[in-house]
Structure 1
Amino acid sequence: MTVASASGNDTAQSRPVPEGHVRLTIDGIEVDAPKGELVIRTAERLGIVIPRFCDHPLLDPAGACRQCLVEVEVNGKPMPKPAASCTTAVADGMVVNTQQTSQVADKAQQGVMELLLINHPLDCPVCDKGGECPLQNQALKHGRSESRFVDKKRTFAKPVSISSQILLDRERCVLCQRCTRFSKQIAGDPFIELLERGATQQIGIGEQQPFQSYFSGNTIQICPVGALTSAAYRFRSRPFDLVSTPGVCEHCASGCSQRTDWRRGKVMRRLAGEDPEVNEEWNCDKGRFAFRYATASDRLTRPMVRDAESGELRETSWTEALRRAADGLLTARDSGGVGVLPGGRLTREDAYAYGKFARMALGTNDIDHRARPHSTEELDFLGASVVGTGPEDGVSYSSLEAAPTVLCVAFEPEEESPIVFLRLRKAARDGSTRVFHLGQWDSPGVEKTTDIVDSGSPIHSGGLLPCLPGGEAAALYELPPEVEQALSEPGAVLLLGERCSQVSGVYTAAMRVAERTGAGIAWIPRRAGERGAVEAGTLPTLLPNGRPVSDSVVRSGIERAWGVPEGSLPSIPGRELDGILAAAESGELSGLLVGGVDPDDLPDPEQARRALRSAGFVVSLELRPSGVTEHADVVLPIAPTVEKSGTFLNWEGRAREFEITIEGTGALPDCRVLDTLAVEMDVDLFTQTPAAVAAEIQRLGANPGARPKPPDIPAEPVDEPVGDKALLASWRHLLDNGSMQHDEPNLAGTARPPVARISRDTSRRLGIEPHQPVRVSTERGTVALESEIVEMPDGVVWLPGNSGPAKVRSVLGAGHGTVVGLAAGPLPPPGGGPKSPEPDETAAGEAVSAAVTNGHGANGHNDAANGHSDAANGHNDAANGHGAGGLGAAGHGPNGNGHTGTDGGVA
């Protein structure tokens, strides 16, 4: 940006104007600005702050509030009246005078402020926005000291619950339209809109259409006046009582920056942080609201050991717990070996400590963090194409947004990586990017990134490439010519979701497409710790930073770095997670060391529970009681994210470092616990602190050897099912039964109701009416959900992976591409169905079948034994006008009965 004083003797007129720019003057300062830039942006770059409410740099200009009026001259002629600087584009020779240099602009802004305050209530002492309110600040700086309007203010009943999370105070609203523009333009969820006209115009929602969006919390943050407030945070604190700490979201691999506000050792709220390279200024509601799991009443704070006499866990000292754990692991190591399952939610430093502990203390490569369906093909793909890459040499958010074509393979971005979804939608809405999805049906995330209607004109961008579940690999070999051609354009990208691991040959096929077309390729897991764990060496074939365990040269380098004798580290690749569990169940392995793993997430939860029961010795590092701690011999409590420091690597491979938010709790990170445990086993890991581990990782550097070979697995044919059979398609909703959403009833209220989706032909063939119950069955169990008819391949049924009773793996023992039975009708009443499995075949407390016809469980509660909340039955709380686990006092909801439309306690 070129700046010169217009009053000086600078030779500004002789300087050429850069190409694509214009020259104008703002408050006497001559500046060159890009063509089309708004006056308010150019002024910002000069350090001139023009007051505004409706303007936001990431939203389309609206000119709604008129607070940013400035005096403008074009070609020496003044405009007839002050112009809104947020909608006025710069022009060559333009002269702009803001409130700092123009009495006309200053008077106009004062007049607008006076009008905005006519009916604005004096809620400042109780308003959640008080202390951080742009209206307060600008009224003091740019408003009149005394009001000339003394009439009685207009009032409305308040608050209005427009969703289970958001409350609306209509009399505070200045109609800036930030919320409606964000919802329509950024999120693609136009549930909130301007209603009525003229003096009665107000923000609202349609009848029986609550503001159910995964991104609704952003409207609270960008609201400039406190008209939209959080039901969970309302009246709980004042901004000046809070300590703010920057951090990183721990829920998914997007890597969002966030700000955590806390008081007296307790987190009060979370806000989206600003990071233009990653999440810009947005985050999803899961990242914003799901943080109470760390302070749940059942939080583990002291070590526990299993009493030999009673068989129950009892609290004990760290000294006894570590001694018991060390003795048990040493015995198991020497008798049959120990498998290590760290889980996919660890920081890079904690994951590194698990990998180092496995190799040095346990002498094994039997370690796998992938606590989900996985495959050997995926393992080879990660080693060949993912590990060691970063945003500089791989796919990044910026390259994704600039890509001419994006093909999502077995990846639903809105559910699995919300910020990737927002970037894809932004690129598609700009008309510069075509987004194709290889999948089964037009999910909301697919629709919002492929068929966008904006400003009345449709932008056709990509579309769905339908295929049978399990047929994604074959479909990649038979892409339509126009898609193949689009992927050949420079900058095109393939995005692979972790669901690819359930389809044989899909990673190989994707790499073949990338080789043919020159497209980039990126892997996007669901969990925040997965990418860092790959780099940290928690896979059975890889040491830190992608070093193959079978490569003697790079292995000897690790041995020197770790200070162990040459040849002492195990050289044979270990078992993957399913192999570890099978070996533990059969007795081939004598022990298990388990991090934050939920058996319900694993490929076969039943097998996992059998393995935990059969393993000779189990050590669990956990935050709260779980399906693993039920079988553990020693339980060691660890610190949640807010009570430790560390680094997450997001899907790009970008390091996302964070510091401790809540200090002084005494909670220990996994790396410290493992270091102390190793000392008890006469091994020094030197992983006492995350900072020490990070420094060690830095010293190791990149893999000096060759990458592992890429996978070469052929695509397997998928036969279309016949009769009453169907192929199961499934992925998890963003908001579901996950344990890290525990005790968040307001968040649960916006979860999407679990339904079974089938095609019209399938529904006719099997006599399944729309919105009627449909049974999905395997030999292990049955799930019954309300049916929904969508456009999708015949002979396919889609279920959410872990929403309400639709626990696909725990109940059905099935996954993406499994053949299931499909029939109309609910489950038979108790006692009228088939005989239940024997107790030793099913884990205690696990439901083998579940019935839901309207999105509720049999009694509207979650099973407390599974660690989920009952969310106060999902009913509305009439006393406070909004539901403890449901929607607002008006009884909004998909069922129109005051329920959430989910399992009543999805957490």
Structure 2
Amino acid sequence: MTTTPDKTTENAGAVERAGGVELVTVTIDGIQVSVPKDTLVIRAAEQIGVQIPRFCDHPLLAPAGACRQCLVDIPDAGNGRGFPKPQASCTLPVAEGMVVNSQVTSQVADKAQQGVMELLLINHPLDCPVCDKGGECPLQNQAMSNGRGESRFSDERNRGVKRTFPKPINLSPNILLDRERCIVCQRCTRFADEIAGDPFIELLERGAQQQVGIAEDAPFLSYFSGNVIQICPVGALTSEQYRFRSRPFDLVSATGIAEHDACGSAIRIDHRRGKVMRRLAGNDPQVNEEWITDKDRFAFAYAHLDDRLTYPQVREPSTSSGQRGELRPASWPEAFTVAARGLAAAKQAGGVGVLTGGRLTVEDAYAYSKFARVALGTNDIDFRARPLSAEETAFLAAHVANTGIDAPTRDGRRPVSYDDLETATTVVLAGLEPEDEAGTIFLRLRKSVRAGGTRVIGLSPYSTRGLRKLSARVVLTAPGDEAAALRDLGDELDAGTVLLVGERLATVPGALSAAAAVAASSGARLAWVPRRAGDRGAVEAGCLPNLLPGGRPAIDAGARVDAAAAWGLDSLPEAEGRDADAIVAALAAGELSGLVVAGVDPDDTADPAATRAAIEAAGFVVAFDLRATEVTDAADVVFPVAPVTDKSGSFVNWEGRVRSWDAALRNPASLPELRALAGIAEQLGTPLGFKTVEEARAELQQLGPWDGARSTSLEAVPQRPSPDRSTGELVLATWKQMIDNGRMQDGDKFLKATGRTPVALVSRALYDEHGPTISLTGDRGSMTLPAEIADDLVDGVVWVPANSVGNGVLADLASPGTTVTITGGMGERGTA
């Protein structure tokens, strides 16, 4: 942008160019400004500091010109660029030589804006004292700044009667509509249609009766519906969870990062009297822009439930009859001492394994990584509390660790970022359903697809709702066949391609090595997208059996010397450690005697029954968690940990971008894991060297990334046998839906009610054979579900949601990619 005083020059009509962008020069309130061609007048005015009032306008939505509040005066300057009447600045592109007068300099514009405001207030109720938007309402603010001081809506003419409707209307379990407040700006309907791709809400009726509504049998069930509450400028749309709970001026706001997925979305946390009242989307153009998922917005009640742990616990000694003692409250120093004594004995007896889960901040993950090596003398540590493979272990070391956007460029290949999703010619999704597993990625892809910039190719067993909304080309792929599908796609990919692989590829034989090979041969850029917020940071922090912090190979002598020197040690364990599955097996076999476990749900692990048996078999268990679980109930020492609102920290998102925040609340009842680990390490005589988040962060930064050689070979998972179709076996396809039975979604019944109905997707032939209700039986049990037809589902495959029924697919049915049998239920048959 360039600005100059308003004066005529010899080349005033010439078209300027800056950086290859065509510029036009306009005059706004007496100031000349050069802006890119097709810039809207309202945006050009913002560049010189003129704020034109508006309601329908939003920089991320297509222009609508619905509210007319942004009217400006554009007189004829002798060049044919003028208009006889005020114009909506939110829909009008600038033109060379145009003269614009806003409400600041033009009585015509000011009068027009006051008139529009008066019309909007004719039917809008003056219920600001009880409206959730009161105190942060654009209509309130602009009625004062750009409206009349007195109303002409007098009792003599119409007795002051305003339009009313029954209220509120439930657009969904989460979203309530007060129709009399609506000014029909269309922000909500445009968001649903353009951004989320869920046009369940629409404008109904016409004229004075026009209103927002839904079909009777189609509620606004979108994973992104909460955004319409935030962008509604008048309080017509409110949250069932927050409605009438607080006033904006009673709240204290803090910035944060969403903890439910690996997207790293910026959020705003509003709290009062030590309790979070609501969460809003933060404005971060590089990541989530101004949108977040409903899970990020509403799923925060888990930290305030009655089962939250608020003090350490230790187990009493066993009774004389051999009965196990009960857990009892303990002080922090006592818990440190008991934990250290038990772990020392377990280390001496056979060793200790460490399972950290994927919810940790980078600083806490680093503390676990250092604790395992320094205090326990082992590389038996893994964050992957889910199905995994040896191939993935090598893949993370070779292609993920120290490759992100905040890491030095390696091998001359630029890391993948959100912006690349909008500039790539093709984005391939393998083992990843972004609408369910990475909502911000889905929205950025949809934005690019709508702009005509990106082609999406998805490897999937059927055309999912999310892939259809991305206009994706679906390569129908049965679980286990992803490696072959990727190789077949190789000739179509080039340097303009981004290949996103999800964690579900971990157990597909050869899929990760195929993805790496295809990316290398085609020039495509490769990125790994895990599900949980702490997964990528755990890789960088060294919570893997083959990696030390900073991507240092655990079996590389130079890397060990480097880390040992930084930690003030003579040496570190030389042998590569056990992964999560091997730790579980070693505990069950008595090869390991102790376990340190953090936030792991056995039902999420590769073999839930084996995980439970391993915890039972362990001689000594130290558990870290936010809430009471079956793991904490079985532990010998339990430490309460702080939720993300109660501590500072950082996540590393899928890009490798570090996302840090400061504590919003202070709760002395729980501590960051790193503080408890430091306390145990001191009792063991092996101090970690830090006790605060800031100290741990500084040490990790000082340690830095490994710049030495690393292995790029991947060990393939043994091929699974193909199912025997003659016996009626089907391959099980599954992944978690965004809203499901996850423990971090507990406590909000309204959010829970928006989850998609769990169904089993089958082919038309199977539906006709078995009916509308089916029972599936695997090697771990059975489950019965309503059936729906997926017309393009790969033959011989059945899909079910992973964590929406019972204890979940892994616990109650079978492992993904293995076989199940199907039998029919009772009921009338037909199409779904």
TM range (shorter): over 0.9
* Matched residue, 1:209: 218
Partner of 2:566: 561
How many angstroms apart in 2 are the aligned matches of 1:464 and 1:637? 45
> Which residue of the other structure, out of 447, 459, 464, is the alignment partner of 2:474?
464
TM-score computed with the length of structure 1 as normaliser = 0.87
Instruction: Output the amino acid matched with 2:820.
Output: V
> Which position in structure 1 is the counterpart of 2:785?
785
Matches within 5 A, 1:646-665: 646-665=649-668
Instruction: Report the Cα offset of residue 491 of structure 1.
Output: 2.3
Gapped regions of structure 2 (runs ≥ 5)? 407-413
Alignment match of 1:399 (pick from 417, 420, 427): 420
1: CA distance between counterparts of 2:11 and 2:131?
50
Partner of 1:628: 631
Q: What's the CA shift for 1:76?
A: 4.1
Select which of 374, 380, 385 maps to 2:388. 374
Q: Distance in 1 between matches of 2:758 and 2:15?
A: 62
Aligned to 2:401: 387
TM superposition shift of 1:391: 2.1
For 2:707 and 2:211, locate their aligned partners in 1 and report how far apart those are by CA, in whole Å: 63
Q: Which one of the candidate residues 91, 94, 101 is aligned to 2:98?
A: 94
CA distance in 2, matches of 1:299, 1:805: 23
SS of equivalent residue, structure 2 residue 73: strand
- The letter of the residue matching 2:362 is R
Deviation at 1:627, TM superposition (A): 2.2
Shift of 1:779: 3.3
Which one of 618, 622, 635 corresponds to residue 615 of structure 1?
Answer: 618
Select which of 310, 320, 329 maps to 2:334: 320
Q: Which sections of structure 1, spanning at least 5 residues, go unmatched? A: 451-461, 828-852, 855-894, 896-907
Partner of 2:817: 817
Structure 1 position 122 matched with structure 2 position 126: yes
How far is 1:687 from its partner? 2.6
User: Aligned residue for 2:445?
Assistant: 424
Q: For residue 500 of structure 2, what is the aligned residue in structure 1?
A: 495
**CA offsets 1:337-386 (integer angstroms, 9 cap, x no match):** 00000111100000000010000111000000111111111111111111
1:109-188 matched pairs, under 5 angstroms: 109-150=113-154, 151=158, 152-188=161-197
Distance of 2:62 and 2:552 partners within structure 1: 47
Whether the 8 Å contact between 2:603 and 2:807 is mirrored in structure 1 is no
User: Secondary structure, in 3 states, of the residue corresponding to 1:512?
Assistant: helix
Determine if the alignment matches structure 1 residue 803 to structure 2 residue 804.
Answer: yes
Q: Secondary structure at the match of 1:629?
A: helix
Match of 2:455 in 1: 434
Partner of 1:55: 57
Q: What's the counterpart of residue 713 of structure 1?
A: 716
C-alpha distance 328-712 of structure 1, shift in aligned 2 (>3 A): closer
Preserved contact between residue 40 and residue 89 of structure 2 (Cα < 8 Å): yes
Distance in 2 (CA, whole Å) between partners of 1:343 and 1:724 is 36
- CA change 1:366–1:147 in 2 (3 A) is same
For 1:782, the aligned partner's letter is S
Residues 668-721 of structure 1 deviation map (CA, whole Å, 9 limit, x = unaligned): 100000000100111110130110011101111120311222315388476354
- Secondary structure of 1:390's counterpart equals coil
Q: Could you say which residue in structure 1 is the equivalent of 2:752?
A: 748
* Counterpart code for 1:148: R
Change (3 A) 1:401 1:718: farther
Cα distance in 2 for residues equivalent to 1:555 and 1:775: 52
Deviations 1:795-847 (A, max 9, x none): 110010000327101111x22211101111169xxxxxxxxxxxxxxxxxxxx
% identical aligned pairs:
55
Match of 2:325?
311
Q: For residues 841-893 of structure 1, give each alpha carbon's deviation from its aligned partner in whole angstroms, at most 9, with x where no partner exists.
A: xxxxxxxxxxxx99xxxxxxxxxxxxxxxxxxxxxxxxxxxxxxxxxxxxxxx
Helix, strand or coil: the match of 1:657?
strand
Among candidates 328, 351, 354, match of residue 340 of structure 1: 354
Give matches, 1:263-342, under 5 Å: 263-308=272-317, 309=319, 311-342=325-356
Residue of structure 2 equivalent to 1:13: 12
2-structure distance, mates of 1:154, 1:12: 55
Residue by residue over 1:18-39, the C-alpha shift from the partner in whole angstroms, topping out at 9 and shown as x without a partner, is: 2511111111111111111111
8 A Cα contact 1:754 1:800, kept in partner? yes
Measured against aligned partners, the alpha-carbon deviations of 1:522-564 in whole angstroms (never above 9, x if no partner) come to: 0000000000000001100000010001111121111111011
| Superposition deviation, residue 80 in structure 1 | 2.4
Asked if the contact 2:540–2:549 (Cα under 8 Å) also holds between the matched residues in 1, the reply is yes
Q: Provide the rounded CA distance (Å) in 2 between the counterparts of 1:619 and 1:239.
A: 42
**In the superposition, relative to structure 1, how do residues 715 and 58 fare at CA in structure 2: closer, same or farther (>3 Å)?**
farther
Kept in 1, the 8 Å contact 2:255–2:269? The answer is yes
Q: Over aligned residues, Cα RMSD in angstroms?
A: 1.7
Structure 2 residue corresponding to 1:506, chosen from 511, 524, 533: 511
Q: For the structure 1 residues 83 and 718, does the alpha-carbon distance in structure 2 shift closer, same or farther, using more than 3 Å as the test?
A: farther
- 1:27-66 matched pairs, under 5 angstroms: 27-66=29-68
Residue 472 of structure 1 aligns with an amino acid whose one-letter code is E
Q: Distance in 2 between matches of 1:138 and 1:486?
A: 53
The partner residue of 2:743 within 739, 743, 748 is 739
User: 20-29 vs 540-549, which deviates more?
Assistant: 20-29
Query: What does the per-residue CA deviation read over 1:417-473, in whole Å, with 9 as the maximum and x for residues that have no partner?
Result: 0000001111111111000100101111111112xxxxxxxxxxx410001111111
- Contact kept, 8 Å, 1:762 with 1:795, in 2: the verdict is no
Runs (4+) off by over 4 Å: 9-12
Q: 1:516 deviation in Å? A: 2.0
2:189–2:199 Cα contact (<8 Å) kept: yes
Deviations 1:736-756 (A, max 9, x none): 111111111011011111100
What is aligned with 2:236?
227
Q: CA deviation at 1:95?
A: 1.1
Q: Distance in 1 between matches of 2:635 and 2:807?
A: 27
Question: Could you tell me how far apart the structure 2 residues matched to 1:603 and 1:238 are?
Answer: 46
CA contact (8 A) 2:390 2:716 kept: no
Instruction: Decide which moves more: 16-25 or 121-130.
Output: 16-25
1:25 aligned to 24, 27, 32, which one? 27
**Corresponding position: 1:410 with 2:410:** no
**How far apart, in 1, do the equivalents of 2:457 and 2:718 lie?**
21
Number of aligned residues: 806
Could you report, residue by residue, the CA deviation over 1:248-271 in whole angstroms, capped at 9, with x for unpaired residues? 111110000110001111111000
Taking the aligned partners of 1:387 and 1:370, their CA distance within structure 2 comes to 15
Instruction: Identify if the C-alpha distance between structure 1 residues 658 and 463 changes in structure 2 by more than 3 Å, giving closer, same or farther.
Output: same
Q: Is the 8 A contact 2:780 2:811 kept in 1?
A: no
* Cα deviation, residue 474, structure 1: 1.6
**Per-residue CA distance 1:74-103 (angstroms, 9 max, x = gap):** 624531211110000111111111111111
Distance 2:162 2:122 in 1: 7
2:634 alignment partner, SS class? coil
The residue correspondences of 1:501-580 to structure 2 (distance < 5 A) are: 501-565=506-570, 567=571, 569-580=572-583
Cα-to-partner distance string for 1:159-191 (whole Å, 9 max, x where unaligned)? 111111111000000000000000110000111
Contact preservation (8 Å) 1:506, 1:715 = no
Q: 1:16 to 1:175 in 2, by over 3 A?
A: closer
Q: Which amino acid aligns with 1:106?
A: D
* Greater mean alpha carbon deviation, residues 702-711 or residues 433-442: 702-711
Distance across 2 between alignment mates of 1:264 and 1:673: 26
Counterpart AA for 1:292:
A
Distance in 2, Cα, partners of 1:712 & 1:644: 39
Cα distance in 2, alignment partners of residues 181 and 679 from structure 1? 57
Please say which of residues 180-189 and 10-19 is displaced more in the overlay: 10-19
Judging changes above 3 Å, is the alpha-carbon distance between structure 1 residues 77 and 284 closer, same or farther for their aligned structure 2 residues?
Answer: closer
Q: Deviations over 1:726-768 (max 9, x none)?
A: 000000011111111111101101111110001113334xx12
